[in-house]
A and B are shown apart, each in its own frame.
Chain A
């Protein structure tokens, strides 16, 4: 019995075993000598100067690119590698920092930081939305930022307690396929999508996405938990397709696979720039103070547990410099938040958007939103 038994345990391996035996894997497995460290060493700083201040958190950093020699900075980025990877790499090089980035969904990284507690390897958290930053602030995971950095950004786009600062602005929009949808068909409030049979099987959304979750938190604040839950259930009942992120929603809309989707404004613009031709899709901006037109920020906070606060401050300083802000304006088509850096000409000015009346610092109940999404069965 036993022998038969053990012959079976291998299952496939047993069958594959004779296939694989004695070829020795010599041709099959080129064996590198060692595992090399992950990060490619960054270029040496161009002009090494004195290290920035030694007292963390409270020391404002005044000059951009106050480069230190070496040093490792660990960033948890809820923004995708394809969008901001090049920028983070460039800043690392210019500051002479060895930047290690863990990419993931915003909420995923926020919960990871909470679970890691004081031992978190993260120095800097780059969130896709103010909600996740607020949630970390609420749990006491973020260190206060110097006023000099905070003040570079208009007041609505930074934490009331000075624990996080917005880096770039984004607007929630409804992206729609212009061949299948007339703009006037889009409900006057995003809330009215729910239960509207016009949209059955035709909507796309990304419940795991941080910006979407922040929108749900906003909806909860503006209309109450019951209304928010009813909206989620209503959209779900319309058999809206679940996508992993905004980019794939926009692509599916362009392809006519779905007719409309709930996204941030800039993904369509990125697609346009890449395609280099007109695409059959358009953004619908809610400019009537509807929750659907939420203006949010992607922003950063420095971890209270970080042991590289000065490096993190340099990094934030760079993110709020003109060079980095131009990157957001020109490469990712977001709204730069630094005064004097113009937004992309194709975008409606930030001041004319008329977003719903909401303080971004109040979007900090990510925990409740995630619990609601789970209850509704979207996660």
Chain B
């Protein structure tokens, strides 16, 4: 909505203007897209090769149960994430809360908390021998809390880590929101609750759908939290079947099923979006007037406080508790430097590689010929819904059988991260590139710059904000990523994530303490600085 059609030529027009041979960028883009699809192609081949075995795995009655579990959990988590995020976004954007920017920043931070850490934190608080159980037993003599393990634990954990996926787009939508529309509805006599339902909510619909999609995809692909909370979903079963089976075609078939579910979700969201009526404001949108904190918004502030305590305070608290307890009994803690260095290195390298691969894709999608852009669309959407575990499994098998020189090497791990986060990076870059005026490049060309200098001196600087944001995004997600790291790391290569995972599955809590704290800091600190900076920039612009 910020892009005015009169100021920037439409992409369609640019495409019509370009004819002739495919450019280097377009070839590169198609190559990267093919690479992104290679793991799936391999799985298809493996599943087909399995024939009877694959079919048996798909027809096994347990498969239906697992699919049902995955789907129900994803749906419920997505719904509760959005329901939680909506009031929080409204509160921090529309209400003059004291310390509003701080609240807004903090509420985004659980995004940087890995699901497996959150799961342990939830168990430590609500589990059968958790803090609450102890308290309840002392106060009321109740010995057992309702069972946490299973659906409810998984639901709570995943809601706490995925609500930011709705909260961030919703806040952005509220910030762009033209309140004149609501005012118009009110002057026409619509009562306030109806204004919300009929005007506000439909306008937020794209943001709501983004949130639903991302939370659901996250839940479908999640591996750590559901393993800890013992709610075996399709993803967990794929992991076990793959690891513990002499015939891996069954795992390949199940993995394809999971890919199918994710792709379906992505396509459904896209379909409904296209059918949605998008309201466009003409003229200058009127910035919202923040309402004072009143009796109606107070409970929401309490809710926000509660979410922060659970989503941010709890994981830090539990990791801190592990540390204090370990120090108290005088345990020697293994050094964390290697893991930290490894995490930071792969994070940075993966970010650079991913963005380098994503750049031609984004460029071709934004500026390439329509046919190429369409061809890129499908693989990117599929890759977007591809769970990390599926990607990792395919790469392990593929490299063992076809590319032994890549097997268990750092480049393969980096490739795994790159393919995993390519769609996100490409999406970020694409949105920035598509907002650039192609006339600037044309001007540079007519002024005699060679194409590579145009790229270096015009395109790249213009795309810089997008490049940086994509880099940081990939870095943050790489550092906390678990399944790809577990399956593709070279022998003996420990990252913060695998150090935490290894120590906790061995029930060696004291050894998990330091890496867990460092891992939280590595994610939360940059994320916090950036969103704080964004909040301040918002003020400078008067938004």
Contact = CB atoms under 8 A, between A and B. Distances in A.
Q: Do A and B actually bind?
A: yes
Interface of A: 1-25, 27-32, 34-36, 38-40, 74, 80-83, 100-105, 107-108, 111, 114-117, 119, 121, 208, 241-242, 244-245, 247-248, 251, 255-257, 366-367, 370-371, 373-375, 377, 379
A251 B128 CA distance: 12
A12 B210 contact: yes
Given A40-B338, A74-B491, A28 B246 contact: no
Contacts of B427: 6, 8-11, 13-14
Contact of A21 (B213, B346, B466): B466
A38 B492 contact: yes
A51 to B, nearest CB: 24
Chain B interface, DSSP helix/strand/loop, else mixed: helix
A368 to B, nearest CB: 9
B322 interface: no
Residue from B169, B243, B273 whose CB has the most chain A CB atoms within 10 Å: B243
A35 B411 CA distance: 11
Interface in B229-245: 230, 232, 237, 240-241, 243-245
Contacts of A247: 506-507
A208 B240 contact: yes
B303 to A, nearest CB: 21
B451 to A, nearest CB: 23
B3 interface: yes
Interface stretch (B178-186, B289-297, B471-479): B471-479
B472 A28 contact: yes
Given A255-B128, A379-B241, A20 B468 contact: yes
Nearest to B405: A119
A22 B431 contact: no
Nearest to B380: A9
Given A17-B432, A32-B345, A12 B244 contact: no
Interface string B397-429: 100110010011010000000000001111110
A374 B270 CA distance: 36
B491 A374 contact: no
B494 to A, nearest CB: 8
A111 B248 CA distance: 10
Given A21-B468, A251-B507, A13 B345 contact: no
A81 B502 contact: yes
Interface in B327-349: 338, 341-342, 344-349
Contacts of B408: 121
B469 interface: yes
Given A19-B531, A121-B407, 13 more contacts: A1-B274, A6-B366, A13-B470, A13-B473, A20-B469, A21-B469, A22-B465, A23-B529, A35-B342, A100-B491, A116-B400, A248-B507, A379-B241
Residue from A16, A32, A40, A375 whose CB has the most chain B CB atoms within 10 Å: A16
Contact of A24 (B227, B270, B347, B468): B468
A10 B245 contact: no
Contacts of B338: 36, 38, 40
Given A16-B168, A374-B245, A11 B213 contact: yes
A226 B439 CA distance: 75
A296 to B, nearest CB: 18
Interface residues of B, number: 100
B245 A19 contact: no
A8 B165 CA distance: 13
Contacts of A13: 424-425, 427-428, 469-470, 473
Contacts of B534: 18-20
B11 interface: yes
Nearest to B503: A82
B36 to A, nearest CB: 13
A226 B268 CA distance: 45
Interface string B500-526: 001101111001000000000000011
B505 A244 contact: yes
B391 interface: no
A344 B365 CA distance: 68
B18 interface: no
A28 B431 contact: no
B101 interface: no
Contacts of B227: 244
A102 B529 contact: no
Nearest to A14: B431
A102 B507 contact: no
B434 A82 contact: no
B530 interface: yes
Contact of A19 (B149, B381, B505, B530): B530
B57 to A, nearest CB: 8
18 contacts: A9-B427, A13-B424, A13-B427, A15-B210, A16-B168, A25-B468, A28-B525, A32-B348, A34-B345, A38-B493, A82-B503, A100-B491, A107-B244, A117-B400, A121-B407, A367-B246, A374-B241, A374-B245
Contacts of B127: 257
Contacts of A116: 400, 407
Contact of B346 (A35, A103, A245, A367): A35
B344 A32 contact: yes
B3 A3 contact: yes
B62 interface: yes
Given A107-B243, A121-B491, A255-B129, A245 B430 contact: no
A30 B348 CA distance: 9
Contacts of B494: 38
